[in-house]
Amino acid sequence: MSSLGRWWLAGAAAAILIGAPRAARAQTQAEYRARVRALVPVWHEVAALKRREDSLAALTLPSDTVRSGPLVLLADSALVGFARRVAPPAAAALDRRFGHAAEILRSRPYLLSRPDSAGSPDSPISLSEVDGTGQARYVQSEPPDVNAMVWAVTHRAAAAIGASLGGDFAHWLGGDFPADTATPAMWTGVRIDLVTSPFAMARACYAGADSACALALGVAGTDDPVARWFDASERRDRVRHLTYQYRADHAGVYNACVTLGADTACAALLRLMPTADVDPPLGASARQSLLTLALDLGGPDAVTRMEAAPDDRGAQLAAAGGIPVDSLVRVWRHDVVAARSSNPSMSWGMALTSLLWVAACGALALRSSPWR
Amino acid sequence: MFKAILKTQWQWTRTAVLLAAIAAFTMPLLSMNSNVPTIQPRSFISVMQTWGVGYVVLAATVGLAVAILAWSSDHRGHHVYALTLPVARWRYVLLRFGAGVVFLVPVVAALGAGALLAVTMFPIPQGLHTYPWALTARFGFAALVAFAIFFAISSATARTAGYILGAIAGVIVVQFLADAAGLHWDVVSHAVDLVLAYPGVLSVFSGRWALVDV
């Protein structure tokens, strides 16, 4: 190796040693916050760019409009025929379910488009919601099947109609606003939720206490949900699962609850949480089934009555169903418990049908004659 | 006469029946053993329903095997044995059919015994129920339907089998032509619904097959 080469190698080694990184260490919270703060302007910039892009897209919305009842679908010429097949059944379903409440859809068109305008007829179709400023917000894609798109449109429209009931009701519901009537499968699912719930209030509901059902569903006891929806062990369990930050901020109360088992401490800690963050014992599917039942009982004007009712979920549900909320919960419990009969492994009808098919196949075997 | 048919048919069928009976007996036990009673009841039910596919497959398989084996000797011997017997064809078919039905009994009984033993041996989460009798009944009817269908097909002429295959192919061809013509007809789905949805011929196979459910 030449002397120049040796000097070059020595210099490179010295540079590596001097510039060697310090030992790796985790970033502190302060550093993390600083990084987040540094990224916020970038996020704002990207969001602004996206808004500009959406505005430009809004200027190029297709002009073909398909109206059926209150439902308005926008589509380009390639999809206008598809939109004409989707709109009538979707509008009819919405009218049956929501009646006059569906009128809000007149100002909320839906856009059907293909991301790739030269795409094949089999490529998926995008469904977007168009807001008051003409901006389209992508919602979901469906295969080019009329039934699938009718389902998607009615469910998105149901969500839009349900949003008019306010954030508290939507938060309580915890899921999609029901566009369909109750089905045996829905009741079976709720029955599984009820019988397998770890909460004492749900077990009491299944055992026959209608008042416990109202509490487990969160339509009663909203004045003090922490005390009325849960027992002491459930309160302690909920406290145990609070976020680290929450526990750290209230370390003394937390320890009194979890370590010493003081129920008053558990309740006090849970009451510090926003009421909306305390979910009822029964899950979203059970609450959705209660609303579905109320809408089924109440008919097409159910949502209109809900909108006119006081801002209380019990009153809203009673208005929807046209019966007191206690009666509604009683009917709900009856339907959930009765769902067991729709879930046997065998029924007499099935047995009889099977025997008839066996006899039919036997008769076919008697008629055929391979040696004739 | 029935005794003689039963005896000869048993010789061809016994291996399949015994294997199926062992599978039927062990399946409920394995399904319960694969579950942990401390897991969430919903997960417990999911595991049970996963095993439900096994019961369906076993019922169809045992029906198919017993039906095919009932006619295999006749097909091999070009029906000479049957022609030498002093009985009408319809009576001969009934004897074969009856013998086949008898051979399904041990498999169904094995499933019932396994299911009863399983629900006795293994604990289940609170709130759930066991359905050993209902599951056994469903399995029995499903095996019987599968046996009757394959028995009819197996006893038929090649022309009849051709008709059946032709009908299936026809549905597929109609679906293809409808797609090509841009018609949004879902012929295959409707045909499948016709067969699998109540009161279709295979409706006993659809639905929930679970030893433990709500």
Q: Would you call A120 exposed, middle or buried from its count of C-beta atoms within 10 A (0-12, 13-18, 19+)?
A: exposed
Which chain A residues touch B79 with a CB distance below 8 Å? 370-371
Q: What percent of chain A has pLDDT over 70?
A: 85
Extract the tokens encoding A72: 């308005």
- A interface test, pick of B111, B135, B141 with most A CB neighbours within 10 Å: B141
Q: B116 vs A251, which has greater pLDDT?
A: B116
B110 CB-side CA count, 13 A: 20
Cα(A170)–Cα(A191) distance, integer angstroms: 23
**Cis omega (within 30 of 0) for bond into A300:** no
Lowest-confidence pick of A54-68, A191-205, A326-340, B28-42: A54-68
Checking if the pLDDT of A305 tops 80, the result is yes
The distance of Cα A16 from the centroid of its chain, to the nearest Å, equals 55
Q: What is the tens place of the pLDDT at every residue in B92-137?
A: 889 999 999 999 999 999 999 999 999 999 988 877 889 999 999 9
CB contact under 8 A, B127 and A370: no
Confidence of residue A57 (pLDDT cuts 50, 70, 90): low
CB B41 within 8 A of CB B3: no
Give the mean model confidence (pLDDT) for residues A241-252.
83
pLDDT in tens, A134-149: 788 888 888 888 999 9
Partners of A191 on chain B (C-beta within 8 Å) are: 214
Q: Supply B68's token pair.
A: 């095919």
Answer left, alpha or beta for residue A174, where phi above 0 means left and psi between -120 and 50 means alpha.
Answer: left
- The half-sphere exposure of A104 on its side-chain side, counting CA atoms within 13 A, is 16
A204 touches chain B (CB under 8 A): no
- Residues from chain A that touch B184, judged by Cβ atoms under 8 A, are 85, 145-146
List CB contacts of A193: < 8 A, sequence separation 6 or more: A202, A282, A283, A285, A286, B42
pLDDT at A182: 92
Q: Is the pLDDT of residue A12 over 80?
A: no
Q: Which amino acid is at A110?
A: Y
| Location of structure tokens 């210099």 | A11
Confidence of residue A216 (pLDDT cuts 50, 70, 90): very high
Listed residue (A226, A238, A236, A227) closest to A259, CA to CA? A236
| Segment holding A222, helix H or strand E | none
For residue A119, what pLDDT is reported?
A: 63
- Identify whether the C-beta of residue A186 lies closer than 8 Å to the C-beta of residue A289: yes
pLDDT number for residue B38 = 61
Check CB contact of B135 with chain A, cutoff 8 Å: yes
Quote the pLDDT of residue A10: 58
Closest approach of chain A CAs to the CA of B179, in angstroms?
10
First-last CA distance in chain A: 100
Confidence band of A1 (pLDDT split at 50, 70, 90): very low
Domain ranges of chain A: 64-164, 166-230+281-344, 235-277
Q: Cβ distance B147 to B164 under 8 Å?
A: no
Nearest residue in A to B56, CA atom? A345
The proportion of chain B whose per-residue pLDDT surpasses 70, expressed as a percent, equals 98
**B214 vs A195: CB contact, 8 Å cut-off?**
yes
**Tokens found for residue A187:** 């009741």
Residue A334 has pLDDT above 90, yes or no: yes
pLDDT over 60 (residue B205): yes
pLDDT class for B179, splitting at 50, 70, 90?
A: confident
Judge if ipTM > 0.85.
Answer: yes
Phi, psi (rounded to 5 degrees) for A75? -155, 155
* Strand A125-130 relative to strand B212-213, pairing: unpaired
Q: pLDDT tens, A92-121?
A: 999 999 999 999 999 899 999 887 665 677
User: Count of A–B CB contacts within 8 Å?
Assistant: 114
Query: Which of chain A's residues have a Cβ under 8 Å away from the Cβ of B182?
Result: 121
Contacts of B144 in chain A (CB under 8 A): 354, 358
Cβ neighbours around A115 below 10 Å, total: 11
Q: Which of residues 57-116 of B touch A (CB under 8 A)?
A: 78-79, 82-83, 89-90, 93-94, 97
How far, CA to CA in Å, does B83 sit from each of A371, B74, B88, B153? 8, 10, 9, 20
pLDDT band at A368 (very low <50, low <70, confident <90, very high): low
Which comes out higher in pLDDT, residue A339 or B39? A339
- Whole-number pLDDT of residue A14: 54
Mean pLDDT of A35-59: 72
pLDDT of residue A9: 55
Question: How far apart, in whole angstroms, are the C-alpha atoms of residue A211 and residue A217?
Answer: 10
Report CB contact under 8 Å: B156, A364.
yes
Q: What pLDDT digit, counting tens, does each position of B129-161 carry?
A: 899 999 999 999 999 999 999 998 888 777 777
Please give the pLDDT value at position A26.
Answer: 61
Q: Identify which has the larger pLDDT, B89 or A257.
A: A257
Which alpha helices (H) appear in chain A, and where do they start and end? 3-18, 29-59, 80-98, 146-163, 167-173, 184-196, 200-207, 210-217, 225-229, 232-240, 244-249, 251-258, 263-271, 284-298, 302-308, 313-321, 325-338, 348-367
Give the Cα separation of A308 and B182 in Å (integer).
47
**pLDDT tens by residue, B43-88:** 888 888 889 999 999 999 999 999 999 988 888 777 777 778 778 8
C-alpha distances (whole Å) from A264 to each of A94, A223, A280, B133 are 48, 17, 20, 49
- Top pLDDT among B148 and B208 is at B148
Phi, psi for A142 (deg, rounded to 5): -135, 155
pLDDT reading at A17 higher than 50: no
Q: Write out pLDDT tens, residues A75-87.
A: 888 888 999 999 9
Q: pLDDT tier at A11 (50, 70, 90 boundaries)?
A: low
Q: Which amino acid would we find at residue A98?
A: F
Q: How do residues A149-160 score in pLDDT, each as one tens digit?
A: 999 999 999 999
Using CA of residue B123, residue B125, residue B127, residue B128, what is the dihedral sign? negative
The answer to whether residues B165 and B134 touch, using CB atoms and an 8 Å cutoff, is no
Give B31-55 as a DSSP string: HHHTS-TTS-HHHHHHHHHHHHHHH
**Mean pLDDT (chain A, rounded):** 84
